[in-house]
Amino acid sequence: MHTRKFGALAGLAAAGTALGVAEVVAIFTGAPTSPLVSVGGVVVDSVPAKVKDLAVEVFYTYDKLALSIGTLVILAAFAAGIGVLAIRRRLWGYAGIALFGGIGIAAALSRHNAPWYAFLPTLLGAAAGAGVLHWLLTHEAGDNATAEERRWFLRASGYTLLGAALVGFAGRWWSTRRNVEEDRASIELPTVAPNSVAPLPPQADAALPDLAPFVTPNKDFYQIDTALVVPQLTTRDWKLRIHGRVGKELTISWDELLKRPMIERYVTLACVSNEVGGGLIGNAKWQGVRIADLLAEARPQPGADQVVSRSIDGFTAGTPTAVLQDGRDAMLAIAMNGEPLPVEHGFPVRMVVPGLYGYVSATKWLVELELTSFADFDAYWIKRGWAAKGPIKTESRIDTPRDGSNPRAGEIMIAGVAWAQHRGISKVEVRVDDGAWQVASLLPVPSIDTWRQWTLKWQATPGRHRITVRATDNGGETQTDAVAPPDPDGATGWHSIDIEVK
Ligand SMILES: Nc1nc2c(c(=O)[nH]1)N[C@H]1C(S)=C(S)[C@@H](COP(=O)(O)O)O[C@H]1N2
Ligand SMILES: [Mo]
């Protein structure tokens, strides 16, 4: 009976060793070559958009953490099963390791920009795993093992598993924290000419509890991307290639980028996956170089109506060339709220385009701009069924009082944010129960490219109430009450909250 348990344990110890060793090798060969990271990446890229949507809905921005944990649980189950089989026939154990090793190697070699040695972490890991399996099973004395032998076996596999897990986690942590943080800390941001700065009006923020601050601190800024591990790209290695249907190809290094004229602008970024009332939106002060200036140098050819921005890990976004040239402050951003871009927000360079959802414009870890046409190329999310053009829809949200809360009767402040980037918000109206729409006060904004806080005083009367908000943009368009899901081009509907006043 106990031999089965022993088999499962030996399988876990072998798999743990394989993954741990692979993670350590990946310190040297790069995180994207780790089997966990590359297989996970293949899964992320191949799940249908609906599943990704569901994952974001259920796990919010922790969808990839959930994927990693899920993967480990499934792998552990397989490893235990293979160990049980190996007790019966050793060969099945090696075959199982070879199968998983093959999957890992295929995944690692298939990733965007994979180096030729991408197979190394999996290969060395699998060899170590097979070695551990061999060693443990050779000492497994079967049904007539003495108590002494059993204790040895349990201890040996237990310590192996524990050691492998520790080494693996340390390797993972070390390989993602190498180089880049140091590089980032050593950056001195170039100054921005005073006439290229958009100052913040003093009254932009009502500073109410629960109301999203006008400027979202970097640590609270939502994070959405397809990267299982955050790409680690140093300013030394960074360069941007502008190519495709251009009159003149350009390659720009970090130092060259920093010498160009800089602008500083508040721009609100929003994710197309944001549900009505959701938090996948944030506002920051970005510093960077105008994309229009770079395009003017590269000279897009007639018909090149799409600029495909590509990240180091192969993500792509397609932005209308015309939008990047129409005078708005589309930029290659190098700083967010006064500091170099946080690594998870695209260090060292990302795109920021006022007025478009992130999936068609906000490429992080940017390394390429390719001039092409919408007819010739579908970017990452377009291949997966999302709309090719992604202008941000006019929306609004109630932040305070909170949904489901119990404020006291008497005068309270209803407040929230409204946004219609690059059109601007001209009016916000609030309705309590079935009452008339009341016009809220709008706080000042630095430009039409940010969200706008709004407030409304209300004499709260005891009992249950539903509060609803709707916004109107400067084009005179009022937020529609037609309810639509995020897929394919952004959620619509009015945001409502339910409260019970005490
Ligand atoms: N390289 C890369 N850039 C990316 C993405 C991505 O998956 N990979 N996701 C985009 C999407 S969908 C959004 S909404 C924004 C989010 O930017 P943030 O994480 O800085 O908030 O990044 C965009 N840029
Ligand atoms: Mo997004």
Peptide bond into 407 cis (omega under 30): no
Cβ of 311 closer than 6 Å to ligand 1, yes or no, is yes
Ligand nearest to the CA of 317: 1
Minimum CA distance residue for ligand 1 atom 1: 364
Tokens at 415, concatenated = 């407040």
CA-based nearest residue to 455, from 204, 267, 280, 199? 204
Q: How far, in Å, is the centroid of ligand 2 from the Cα of 484? A: 16
What is 18-55 written as a DSSP string?
A: HHHHHHHHHHHH-GGGSHHHHHHHHHHHHS-HHHHHHH
Residues lying with their CB under 5 A of ligand 2, a single-atom ion: 224, 271, 358-359
In 355-412, which residue ranges form alpha helices assigned H by DSSP?
Answer: 380-383
CA 125 – CA 120 distance, rounded (Å): 8
Q: What SS3 string covers 48-115?
A: CHHHHHHHHHHHHHHHHHHHHHHHHHHHHHHHHHHHHHHHHCHHHHHHHHHHHHHHHHHHHHHCCCCC
Q: Please tell me the distance from the alpha carbon of residue 218 to that of residue 342, in angstroms, as a whole number.
A: 8
**Rounded CA separation 133/157 (Å):** 9
Tens of pLDDT, residue by residue, the chain (502 residues): 458 889 999 999 999 999 999 999 998 998 899 999 999 899 888 887 777 777 776 777 777 788 888 888 999 999 999 999 999 899 999 999 999 999 999 999 999 989 999 999 999 999 999 999 999 988 877 777 888 888 898 899 999 999 999 998 888 888 766 668 889 999 999 999 999 998 999 999 999 999 999 999 999 999 999 988 889 999 999 999 999 999 999 999 999 999 999 999 999 999 999 999 999 999 999 999 999 999 999 999 999 999 999 999 999 999 999 999 999 999 999 999 999 999 999 999 999 999 999 999 999 999 999 999 999 999 999 999 999 999 999 999 999 999 999 999 999 999 999 999 999 999 999 999 999 999 999 999 999 999 999 999 999 999 999 999 999 999 999 999 999 999 999 999 999 999 999 9
Q: How far apart are CA 21 and CA 121, in angstroms?
A: 7
| β-bridge pairing 281-290 and 316-320 | unpaired
- Please give the distance, rounded to the nearest whole angstrom, from the Cα atom of residue 280 to the centre of ligand 2: 8
Contacts of 176 (CB under 8 A, 6+ apart): 31, 229, 230, 232
Q: How far apart are CA 176 and CA 187, in angstroms?
A: 19
CB 405 within 8 A of CB 200: no
> Is residue 222 in contact with ligand 1, taking CB distance under 6 Å?
yes
**Nearest atom (ligand 1) to Cα of 222:** 21
Find out whether the beta carbon of 341 lies less than 6 Å from any atom of ligand 1. Answer: no
Task: With H, G, I as helix, E, B as strand and everything else as coil, classify residue 390.
Answer: coil
* DSSP, res 455: E
- Measure 350 CA to ligand 1 centroid, in angstroms: 9
Sorted by where each starts, the structural domains of the chain and their CATH numbers stand as 2-178 (no CATH), 194-205+216-384 (3.90.420.10), 395-501 (2.60.40.650)
Structure tokens at 140: 């497994």
> Ligand 2 centre and the CA of 352: distance in Å?
13
Please choose from 52, 216, 225 the residue to mutate so as to test ligand 1's pocket, defined by most ligand atoms within 8 A of CB.
225
Quick check: bond before 213 cis, omega within 30?
no
What is the DSSP annotation of 122-140?
HHHHHHHHHHHHHHHHHT-
What's residue 69's pLDDT?
Answer: 86
Residue closest by Cα to atom 6 of ligand 1: 225
Query: What's the pLDDT score for residue 1?
Result: 44
How far is residue 280's CA from residue 221's CA, in Å, rounded to a whole number? 8
Residue among 414, 481, 407 nearest 454 (CA): 414
Q: 493: Cβ–Cβ under 8 A, 6 or more apart, which residues? A: 276, 480, 481, 482, 483, 484
Structure tokens at 63: 């969808």
End-to-end Cα spacing for the chain: 63
Pocket of ligand 1 contains residue 347 by CB under 6 Å: no
362 lines ligand 1 (CB under 6 A): yes
Bridge partners (DSSP) of residue 319 are 307
> Ligand 1: which of 45, 53, 64, 224 to mutate, judged by most atoms within 8 Å of the beta carbon?
224
Is the C-beta atom of 269 inside 6 A of ligand 1?
yes
Rounded Cα–Cα distance for residues 371 and 361 (Å): 14
The span from the CA of 458 to the CA of 400, in Å, is 12
Regarding the beta carbon of 41 and ligand 1, being less than 6 Å apart is answered no
CB atoms within 10 A of CB 501: 18
**Beta bridge partners of residue 377, listed in sequence order:** none
Cis amide linkage into residue 401, ω under 30° from 0 = yes
Give the closest residue (by CA) to ligand 1 atom 7: 225
Phi, psi angles (nearest 5°) of residue 98: -65, -40
Distance CA 438, CA 429 (A): 5
Report the nearest atom of ligand 1 relative to the CA of 224: 19
Q: Please give the pLDDT value at position 71.
A: 86
Ligand 1 centre distance from Cα of residue 60 (Å): 14
Query: Encoding tokens for residue 321?
Result: 């060339």
